[in-house]
Amino acid sequence: MGCGARGDSRVSAVIGLVDANNFYVSCERVFNPALEGKPVGVMSNNDGCVIA
Residues of the chain with pLDDT under 70: 1-8, 21, 44-52
How many structural domains compose the chain?
1
> What secondary structure does DSSP assign to 8-48, as a single string?
------------HHHHHHHHHHHH-GGGTTS---EE-SSS-
Number of other CB atoms surrounding residue 14 within 10 Å: 4
pLDDT of residue 19: 72
Provide the domain limits for residue 19. 1-52
pLDDT of residue 22: 80
pLDDT of residue 42: 72
